[in-house]
Amino acid sequence: MLDMPLNQKKEPAHVLDIYLFIDPIDTSCHQCATEILDFLNTLNMKVYTHFIPYFNLKTIDEYIKKYQLPTTDLTLRNKIYETDYLIGLTYKAATFQGKRKARQFLAQLKVLTDTYRHNLTDEDILGIAELSNLDLSMLLEDRQSENAKYLYQKDLEIAHKFSISKVPSIIVFDSCRPNGILIEEDITVSHIQHVIETSMDCLKAK
């Protein structure tokens, strides 16, 4: 998916592909994603955005340190893992009902992660799905499907391929550069804007 070149003959205008890797139980990730999306929506160009809920052992360690949780509690670590996985798989299943509804699910989820974070239950998650106007019976069926699990695993492989080690992280692909730009530090609107403006200068110079 990420290796597909942009067809500049069909898309002569500047086109952006933005991949946002977030920890769905971390409030700061949700806030970062919201700010970046609000900014991208103001751009006068075609922008494709992709959310990838992501976690690994390192991000779990960082989460535990960030919220000053017990570092040696294996039950806690398993709970964080299970909650991250369940939300990620539910989100992927939600995309089968449309990206707009799936993103609404993540946006609504922030309300509960502010308070409960890794202590979210499946009942909480499905309650948010219902508030997001998702069909619950379809969602549950899709979440159990091999297709959803396969696609979710492919997302994790994308993160591994590009050595994503922190959340939030962003990869910016555009029609000017042959390779993506990974941003792991200083993920701010001003930084993203600088990256995009640099790409636009590159396009004008051609």
Q: Where are the domains of the chain?
A: 15-205
| CA 91 – CA 184 distance, rounded (Å) | 23
- List the pLDDT tens digit at each of the 206 positions of the chain: 445 454 444 445 678 899 999 999 998 898 888 888 888 888 888 899 999 999 999 999 999 999 999 999 999 999 999 999 999 999 999 999 999 999 999 999 988 888 889 999 999 999 999 999 999 999 999 999 999 999 999 998 989 888 898 999 999 888 777 688 899 888 888 888 888 777 666 656 55
CATH superfamily assigned to domain 15-205: Glutaredoxin (3.40.30.10)
Q: Going edge to edge, which strands form the sheet with 169-174?
A: 46-53, 15-22, 169-174, 181-183
How many CA atoms does the CB half-sphere of 74 hold within 13 Å? 0
Question: Would you call the peptide bond into 70 cis, given omega within 30 degrees of 0 as the criterion?
Answer: no
pTM as predicted: 0.85
